[in-house]
């Protein structure tokens, strides 16, 4: 059954890519009154600009951690732009693939494709052009390893994570890989290869995603279920098993804080700060485990919004001292 779903997904995409520009029409008629500003806003939404801005910042953070004396504001901006374009393109492909299911969910039914503001053709062209532009900038201004990581992030998010969302809860784990690549891409863009510190930056963003996205999935579980998405640790949804997994993955952010210290990359006080940020993330996860209420999941979600920038600022203290 899972192979059938995956093969159907791939077949639909190939059909969209090959035939849409010539023959296919959008199911929802596009209004003739759509203005240029509405179109531009629709492209921002198509590229998931809020999430994409976070990625751009993470890529710039990775660049900053490696650049030190060779720091350049121009290259920092190009790195952030590259991260934005690649993620925007992958997010657009995600919406192309999920357009029918987006129409079923309250939180996504007004996205550009199901709402008829952008056609399938426009969306596919945008996804391809932004992906190529982002990878091209990495290859031209930085190096081939960074560009290859960008390609891996783009393809794995669009072609692996996206179809898995309707097949298995394991999709969140798979999606966390491209989601954790931006700081590593920024770092590799400077030094040209992957090393221990780059992998540590990857690890922090990797483990941050589990409490973040599982908290969102908990709150939006009913909506996700309408589209058949399996986003919580348990395929059964809001279960004791799900909150247990969420709690333990969040707990891991505390010992993770001392990993860069053990390699001599940061000071002890920075490691303690990182541990405190992990503890602050764990408290709402523990409350969710205890009461299994949406209110606790929302607090965990908001705590995760604070956790990542605090982690990045703590690492950056090395450059300011």
User: C-alpha dihedral over 141, 77, 88, 202, to 10 degrees?
Assistant: 80
**315 CB-near residues (< 8 Å, 6+ apart):** 61, 65, 201, 260, 266, 270
How confident is the prediction for the chain on average, in pLDDT?
88
- In this predicted model, which residue has the larger pLDDT, 61 or 25? 61
Answer yes or no: are the C-beta atoms of 308 and 180 closer than 8 Å: no
Question: Tens digit of pLDDT for each residue in 238-285?
Answer: 999 999 999 999 999 999 999 999 999 999 999 999 999 999 999 999
pLDDT digits (tens, 9 = 90+) for 274-316: 999 999 999 999 999 999 999 999 999 999 999 999 999 999 9
Looking up residue 175, the CATH number of its domain turns out to be 1.10.357.140
User: Which residues, 6 or more positions from 137, have their beta carbon under 8 angstroms from its beta carbon?
Assistant: 78, 81, 82, 85
Residue 291 has a pLDDT of 95
Burial readout 118-145 (b: 16 or more C-beta within 10 A, e: otherwise): bbbebbbebbeebbebbbebbbebbbeb
Q: Are residues 145 and 184 in the same domain?
A: yes
The reply to whether 139 and 236 lie within a common domain is no
Cα torsion 267, 179, 46, 63: sign:
positive
Domain boundary among 147, 174, 193: 193
Residues 43 and 131 in one domain: yes
Residues 6 or more apart from 150 whose CB is under 8 A from it? 82, 86, 134, 135, 138, 181, 185
Q: At 320, is the pLDDT very low, low, confident or very high (cuts 50, 70, 90)?
A: low
Number of folded domains that form the chain: 2
**Residue where one domain finishes, among candidates 193, 220, 238:** 193
The CA radius of gyration of the chain, in Å to the nearest whole number, is 20
Instruction: Please state, as a whole number, how many other Cβ atoms lie within 10 Å of the Cβ of residue 79.
Output: 30
The count of C-alpha atoms lying within 13 angstroms of the C-alpha of 267, restricted to the half-sphere facing its C-beta, is: 9
User: 217 and 150 in one domain?
Assistant: no
Q: DSSP for 6-18?
A: HHHHHHHHHHHHH
pLDDT of 36 over the 90 cut: no
- Is residue 19 over pLDDT 60? no
The Cα–Cα gap between 301 and 245 comes to 16
Query: Could you tell me if residue 200 is inside a domain?
Result: yes
pLDDT of residue 107 exceeding 70 = yes
Band of pLDDT at residue 317, cut at 50, 70 and 90: confident
Q: Quick one: 141 and 236 in the same domain?
A: no
Last residue of a domain, one of 168, 193, 218: 193
Note the pLDDT tens digit of each residue in 205-220. 999 999 999 999 999 9
> pLDDT tens digit string along 168-223?
999 999 999 999 999 999 999 999 999 999 999 999 999 999 999 999 999 999 99
Report yes or no on 106 lying in a domain: yes
Domain that holds residue 247: 195-321
pTM for this entry: 0.87
Crossing angle (nearest 10°) for helices 36-46 and 73-97: 90
Q: Are residues 95 and 116 in the same domain?
A: yes
């Amino acid at each position: 059954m899972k192979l059938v779903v995956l093969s159907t997904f791939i077949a639909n995409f190939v059909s969209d890519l090959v035939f849409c520009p010539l023959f296919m029409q959008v199911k929802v008629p596009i209004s003739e009154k759509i203005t240029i500003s509405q179109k531009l806003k629709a492209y921002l939404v198509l590229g998931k600009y809020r999430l994409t801005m976070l990625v751009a910042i993470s890529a710039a953070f990775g660049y900053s951690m490696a650049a030190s004396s060779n720091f350049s504001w121009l290259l920092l901006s190009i790195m952030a732009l590259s991260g934005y374009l690649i993620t925007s393109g992958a997010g657009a492909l995600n919406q192309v693939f999920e357009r029918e299911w987006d129409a079923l969910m309250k939180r996504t039914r007004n996205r550009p494709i199901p709402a008829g503001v952008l056609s399938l053709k426009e969306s596919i062209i945008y996804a391809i052009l932004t992906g190529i532009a982002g990878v091209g900038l990495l290859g031209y201004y930085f190096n081939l390893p960074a560009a290859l990581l960008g390609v891996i992030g783009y393809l794995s998010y669009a072609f692996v994570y996206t179809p898995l969302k309707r097949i298995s809860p394991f999709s969140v784990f798979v999606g966390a890989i491209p989601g954790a690549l931006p700081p590593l891409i920024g770092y590799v863009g400077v030094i040209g290869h992957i090393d221990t510190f780059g992998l540590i930056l990857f690890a922090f963003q990797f483990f941050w995603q589990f409490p973040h996205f599982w908290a969102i999935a908990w709150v939006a579980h009913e909506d996700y279920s309408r589209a058949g998405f399996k986003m919580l640790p348990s395929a059964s949804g809001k279960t004791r098993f799900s909150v247990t997994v969420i709690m333990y993955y969040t707990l891991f952010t505390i010992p993770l804080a001392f990993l860069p210290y053990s390699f001599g990359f940061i000071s002890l006080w920075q490691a303690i700060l990182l541990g405190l940020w992990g503890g602050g993330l764990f408290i709402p996860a523990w409350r969710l485990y205890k009461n299994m209420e949406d209110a606790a999941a929302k607090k965990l979600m908001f705590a995760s919004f604070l956790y990542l920038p605090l982690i990045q600022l703590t690492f950056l203290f090395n450059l300011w001292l």
